């Protein structure tokens, strides 16, 4: 009784949560290697009656064979070699009842298609000298991060990432938001240590 009352008081205070999309309630499949393979995986799942509500194209930004096997590119924009007809492909698998999901992470890797633009515009976190704060990223290459306290950079990133929506993505994994260095210099002037945990929420 007390538990039920407590739940009622909580709901009265904060309201009921919105129902998540129905795609949340069945397994998601990570399919790679481009549009044709996404279609093949979708057909195998449906033909064999395998429960799945979403297909996740982690390499929609590109990928290639590397020293450790298949490696994702650190680009922020779609790879039209792997996904030349992503708009049509995403519509097709949606027609089969799948959500189409993509991928983003916070790294502005020196190999990324947006690196020069982001760093020249001052959208990256800074070091004490005012230069982009570089560290060894997830691929063991020089990387920096988007400064989420820079409102111009925030708006720019939102626009770049929004490309995924325009090509048919229903959402994406927002990865690697725990890497903000605690000694970075931020556009807001806030202490980077104090912002470190908030970065994951803002991202």
Which pLDDT value is given to residue 191? 95
DSSP string, 16-52: PPPPPPGGGGS-EEE--S-HHHHHHHHHHHHHTT---
Which pLDDT value is given to residue 58? 92
Residue 1: pLDDT over 80: no
Beta strands in the chain (DSSP E): 28-30, 54-56, 63-66, 69-72, 99-105, 107-109, 135-136, 142-145, 171-175
Tokens (6 digits) for 84: 């030349």
Which pLDDT value is given to residue 16? 87
Beta bridge partners of 103: 173
Contact 51, 96 (CB under 8 A): no
Which pLDDT value is given to residue 148? 95
Which pLDDT value is given to residue 66? 81
Please tell me the distance from the alpha carbon of residue 145 to that of residue 203, in angstroms, as a whole number: 11
46 phi-psi bin (left φ>0, alpha ψ -120 to 50, beta other): alpha
Which pLDDT value is given to residue 2? 66
**Segment 184-193 mean pLDDT:** 94
What confidence category does residue 24 fall into, taking pLDDT thresholds of 50, 70 and 90? Answer: confident
Q: Of 85-89, 95-99, 135-139, 190-194, which range is least confident?
A: 135-139
Label residue 24 exposed, middle or buried (CB < 10 Å: 0-12, 13-18, 19+).
exposed
Please tell me the distance from the alpha carbon of residue 36 to that of residue 34, in angstroms, as a whole number: 6
Please tell me the distance from the alpha carbon of residue 153 to that of residue 162, in angstroms, as a whole number: 14
pTM of the model: 0.82
Which pLDDT value is given to residue 189? 93
Beta strands 135-136 and 142-145: pairing type?
A: antiparallel
**Segment 143-155 mean pLDDT:** 95
**Segment 77-95 mean pLDDT:** 95
Which pLDDT value is given to residue 62? 92
Q: Could you tell me what percent of the chain has a pLDDT over 70?
A: 98
pLDDT 10s digits, 28-83: 999 999 999 999 999 999 999 999 999 999 999 999 988 888 989 999 999 999 99
In the β-sheet with 135-136, what is the strand arrangement from edge to edge? 107-109, 142-145, 135-136
Contact 19, 45 (CB under 8 A): no
Residue 181: pLDDT over 90: yes
What confidence category does residue 174 fall into, taking pLDDT thresholds of 50, 70 and 90? Answer: confident
């Amino acid at each position: 009784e007390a538990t039920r009352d407590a739940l009622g008081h909580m709901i009265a205070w904060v309201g009921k949560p919105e129902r998540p999309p129905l795609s949340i309630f069945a397994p998601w499949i990570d399919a790679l290697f481009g549009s044709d393979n996404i279609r093949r995986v979708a057909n195998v799942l449906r033909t064999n009656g395998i429960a799945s509500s979403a297909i996740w194209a982690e390499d929609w930004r590109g990928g290639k064979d590397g020293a450790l096997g298949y490696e994702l590119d650190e680009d922020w924009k779609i790879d039209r070699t792997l996904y030349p007809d992503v708009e049509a492909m995403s519509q097709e698998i949606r027609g089969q009842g799948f959500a189409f999901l993509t991928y983003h992470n916070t790294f502005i890797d020196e190999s990324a298609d947006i690196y020069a633009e982001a760093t020249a515009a001052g959208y990256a976190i800074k070091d004490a000298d005012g230069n982009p704060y570089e560290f060894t990223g997830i691929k063991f290459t020089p990387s920096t991060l988007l400064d989420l306290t820079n409102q111009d950079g925030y708006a720019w990133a939102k626009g770049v990432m929004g490309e995924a929506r325009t090509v048919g993505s229903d959402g994406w994994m927002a990865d690697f938001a725990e890497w903000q260095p605690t000694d970075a210099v931020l556009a807001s002037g806030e202490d980077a240590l104090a912002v470190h945990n908030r970065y994951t929420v803002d991202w």
